[in-house]
Amino acid sequence: MKFPKKQKKQKNKGLLLKDITAVFNHNSRKEYNYKQVAAEIGVNSEAERIVISHLLMELKNQDYLVETERGKYKLKQVEKYLSGRIEMTNNGSAYVICEDSEKDIFIAPQNIRGAFQNDLVKVTVYPSRSRRPEGEVVQIIKRSKEEFVGLVEIAPKFAFLVNPNQKNVPDIFIPLAKLNGAKHGEKAIAKITLWSENGKNPEGEIVRVLGKPGDNNTEMNAIMAEYGLPVDFPQEVEEEAKKIAVEISADELQNRRDFRAKTTFTIDPVDAKDFDDALSIDRMLDGTWEIGVHIADVAHYVQPGSILDDEALNRGTSVYLVDRCVPMLPEVLSNFACSLRPNEEKLCFSAVFQMDENADILSQWFGRTVIKSNRRFSYEEAQTILDTEVGDYCEELKTLNTLARKLRDKRFKEGSIAFEKSEVKFTLDENGKPTGVYFKVAKDTNKLIEDFMLLANRKVAEYCAKPKKEEKGNQHDSSKRVMVFRIHDNPDPDKLNDFAGFVSRFGYSLKTGSKMQTAKSMNKLLSNVAGKREAGMIEQLAIRTMAKAVYSADNVGHYGLAFDYYTHFTSPIRRYPDIMAHRLLNYYLALDQGKQKPKDARDLLQYDHLEELCKHASDMERLAAEAERASIKYKQVEFLLDKVGQNFEGIITGVTEWGLYVEIIENHCEGLVRVKDMTDDIYIFDEDNFCFHGRNSRKFYQLGDKVLIKIKRTDLVRKQVDFILIKKVEAKV
């Protein structure tokens, strides 16, 4: 930790205490006397040194420090050890996420002790005088990965794999005999064969050459490799997929409800190839509507224990990078056999609802079906039909949209939070180079599909796991049924209160009382900020106050949706938990109907095993999301390569001790204004108020401010953009 060497103004006792504890926390094994502490924090006045001496004695009396010899102190070692996953930050520090700790444990850079991102580590926790616990890594229990991506640097007698993106990953020593054809300057993957000790570089060998830096395929494959995500399928998996019989037998048809004559269509992104959901609509004789949510029956083709199932389980999810989808299942399944393509008979697992004009559910049915989609719509095509009221299946689309809106209104009244989802999209040339950047905002057709998928997911979860009234002759206890749930825990009250305090500075309010009151107030806040320049920043901070949605066998409900029971059932082509949900639903249907119980859910009925699978799925989902963000960041930097020196207006989206993050309004690209480049004054970081203020000029820059910046530097290798701050753009009155 670095401290200024000189202070023009004497610090008060509180600031001195904060600096002193930081010195000992960041150097937990060192001993200091009061003069050494004063030197570390840049204090040179005798009066302040005397205060430091008294504070050291106070900290000793509080059992925070121990006196090793007269006048010398060190941090008191408390025998408290925890284990958890380590997450690195951009500034070289880290946090350890422990199940046994309410708060994440901060780890200073010098206390990481060779741990890498996502390693399972053992940490010792310091005695804390603040809200944030701190500690240091004492043991690496399990490495998260053994292969790393980097640039090959070859010297006459040896080589290294250098990774400039990750500050906490050392250069890997590569013997020349282990280069395996890699050339100087190429991107490659190295496997570590000998882990370093005592600060030495680990030793490894090149296992795959990715290609020339800057090439689109090289960079996208490098991103996948950085997160340990597979790209190509093993040959035996591809061969097994090709053996699958895609013809539907007469016997199979007899065991399924036939929807081939029903009006059915899919609505998906324009570039989608895996259509795993379709909607059917039929007007009943009594004036009600029969709405079918038809989902590709992947579990019919992918059997438990097969190499296809093992591969899908290992991957957990499809990965969507800027320019491609890396599928969970081989293409013969994801794009052909299971994809609900128009005018082809397809096997589905369906949730069918009879509802009235108010979208009230009168009855529901779950089971295996066969469908034949009449039409494939892109979201844009379907939206144009809704807007113009002209086109194929116009009346059906209008009816579905009306019912979806009513489902949505009910959901919000019950406490669902209306987080608007906007996606960063790029227009790419034939070489994958970005020529434009834009935000894709959800319109009516996106919400239409979303609401019917939410309905199916919710009702499937309720059917499988919600306790039912015991009926005469019923031999099972539905309250003990296991299920794969999509859960979203309640937010941390402290985070909510901090967020409420923050938005109040912008003139907004957030009530944090009951669950329903908080949800209604959050929706009102999000509605009020919509279209304002601070909207994106407040929306992102609102999301960060929430817990992360994950998969679990332990149901705590879904806070954001306000559902007591929720699962993922509607995307089995691209998510493995949906396949598990299909198997469990099929098992419970057979159980309730007195039919022979299928064997494909047998292992899932064991709670511990199911929870283990859920945790793996959550981990893979997180890695896929991080890879997607990395590909977006890479393309944003690539888009700005030829714009160095140009000025843009932007919004401050983040404030950290090392500078201001600014998002350009015109193209949504984000970069950093480093505090060292703010040379017109000495700027002080105010952590509590998310701002910097100039010591002499009294200028201040805070979250949400509109500023004018100049692009200083772009670095594709590190996926970084640096800005120069020109001025704040004052709001027009």
Give the DSSP per-residue string, 242-300. Answer: HT---SPPHHHHHTSEE-TTSEEEEEE-TT-----EEEEEEE-TTS-EEEEEEEE-HHH
* pLDDT of res. 132: 74
DSSP-derived secondary structure letter, 52: H
Predicted pLDDT of residue 400: 98
Residue 568 reports pLDDT greater than 90: yes
**Residue 130 has what pLDDT?**
60
Of 6-10, 219-223, 482-486, 491-495, the poorest mean pLDDT is in: 6-10
* Among the ranges given (187-201, 219-233, 258-272, 592-606), the one the predictor scored with the smallest mean pLDDT: 187-201
- In the predicted structure, residue 5 carries a pLDDT above the cut 50: no
Under 8 Å between Cβ of 306 and 600: no
Q: What is the pLDDT of residue 733?
A: 45
Same domain? For 481 and 570 the reply is: yes
Give the residue with greater pLDDT, 167 vs 666.
Answer: 666
- The predicted model gives 471-491 an average pLDDT of 74
Mean pLDDT score of the chain: 90
SS3 assignment, position 609: helix
Q: pLDDT category, 1, cuts 50, 70, 90?
A: very low
Burial of 251 (0-12, 13-18, 19+ CB in 10 A): exposed
How far is residue 78's CA from residue 62's CA, in Å, rounded to a whole number?
13
Residue 474 has a pLDDT of: 47
pLDDT at 224 over 90: yes
**Same domain, residue pair 428 and 281:** yes
432 with 518, same domain?
Answer: no
Mean pLDDT of 318-342: 96
Instruction: Decide if pLDDT at 637 tops 70.
Output: yes
Pair (555, 540) in one structural domain:
no
> Is residue 22 included in any domain, yes or no?
yes
Q: Are residues 342 and 427 in the same domain?
A: yes
Is 2 a domain residue?
A: no
Residue finishing a domain among 75, 91, 118: 75
Query: Does the residue 227 lie in any domain?
Result: no
Asked if residue 409 and residue 536 are part of one domain, the reply reads: no
Number of structural domains (the chain) is 6
**Residue 259 backbone class (left: φ over 0; alpha: ψ -120 to 50; beta: rest):** alpha
* 371 and 252 inside one domain: yes
pLDDT digits (tens, 9 = 90+) for 245-266: 888 999 999 999 999 999 999 9
Strands 257-258 and 361-372: parallel
> Span 591-610, mean pLDDT?
93
Query: Which pLDDT does position 478 carry in this prediction?
Result: 53
pLDDT of 296:
98
Reduce the DSSP state of residue 3 to 3 states and report it.
Answer: coil
pLDDT higher than 90, residue 302: yes
Q: Is residue 231 part of a domain?
A: no
**pLDDT reported for residue 314:** 97
Give the pLDDT of residue 258. 97
Is residue 225 within 8 A of residue 210, CB to CB? The reply is yes
> pLDDT tens for residues 686-697?
887 778 999 998
- 44: domain CATH number? 1.10.10.10
714 conformational bin, left if phi > 0, alpha if psi -120 to 50, beta if neither: beta
Q: How many CB atoms are located within 10 Å of the residue 551 CB?
A: 27
d(CA 260, CA 345): 7
CATH number at residue 188: 2.40.50.700
Please indicate, yes or no, whether residues 463 and 611 belong to a single structural domain of this protein: yes
Of residues 720 and 27, which shows the higher confidence score? 720
Model pLDDT, residue 2:
47
pLDDT at position 128, please? 62
Task: Check whether 473 has a pLDDT greater than 70.
Answer: no
Q: Are 270 and 337 in contact (CB under 8 A)?
A: no
Instruction: Give pLDDT tens digits for 508-539.
Output: 999 988 888 899 999 999 888 887 777 777 88
Two structure tokens written together for 597: 């119980």
Is 690:703 a contact under the CB 8 Å cutoff? Answer: yes
Q: Are residues 623 and 665 in the same domain?
A: no
Say yes or no to pLDDT of 157 above 70: yes
Mean of pLDDT values over 129-144: 81
pLDDT score at 538: 85
Please state which of the ranges 263-272, 283-292, 697-706 shows the lowest mean pLDDT. 697-706
Asked, for residue 523, whether it belongs to a domain, the answer is: yes
Whether residue 708 is predicted with pLDDT greater than 90 in this model: the reply is yes
Q: Are residues 582 and 685 in the same domain?
A: no
Tokens found for residue 170: 């050392």
pLDDT at position 471 over 50: no
Q: What is the DSSP string of 418-470?
A: -PPPEEEEEEE-TTS-EEEEEEEE--HHHHHHHHHHHHHHHHHHHHHHS--PP
E strands in 108-199: 120-125, 134-142, 147-154, 159-162, 172-174, 187-194
Final residue belonging to a domain, choices 29, 45, 75: 75
**pLDDT, average across residues 608-612:** 96
400 assigned to some structural domain = yes
Checking if the pLDDT of 499 tops 70, the result is: yes
pLDDT at 376: 97
Using the predicted structure, report yes or no on whether residue 138 has a pLDDT greater than 90: no
The alpha-carbon radius of gyration of the chain (Å, integer) is 29
What is the band of 79 on the pLDDT scale with cuts at 50, 70, 90? low
**Residue pair 309/303 in contact by the 8 Å Cβ criterion:** yes
Is residue 354 located within the same domain as residue 308?
A: yes
Q: 39 lies in which domain range?
A: 13-75
Q: pLDDT above 90 covers what percent of the chain? A: 63
Instruction: Answer yes or no: is 385 within a domain.
Output: yes
Dihedral through CA 120, CA 125, CA 130, CA 132, nearest 10? 10
Of the listed ranges 61-65, 172-176, 617-621, 634-638, the one predicted with least confidence: 61-65
> pLDDT value at position 419?
83
Q: What is the DSSP string of 689-717?
A: TTEEEETTT--EEETT-EEEEEEEEEETT
Q: Which residues contact 480 (CB under 8 A, 6 or more apart)?
A: none
Read off the pLDDT of residues 424-445 as tens digits, 9 standing for 90 and up: 889 999 989 999 998 888 899 9
**Model pLDDT, residue 420:** 74
Check residue 101 and give its pLDDT. 74
CATH number of residue 704's parent domain: 2.40.50.140
Q: Is residue 152 part of a domain?
A: yes
Instruction: Give the pLDDT of residue 60.
Output: 86
Q: ∠ at Cα 223 (320, 724), nearest 5°?
A: 100
Same domain? For 434 and 560 the reply is yes
Which range among 188-202, 469-483, 548-562, 715-729 shows the weakest confidence by mean pLDDT?
A: 469-483
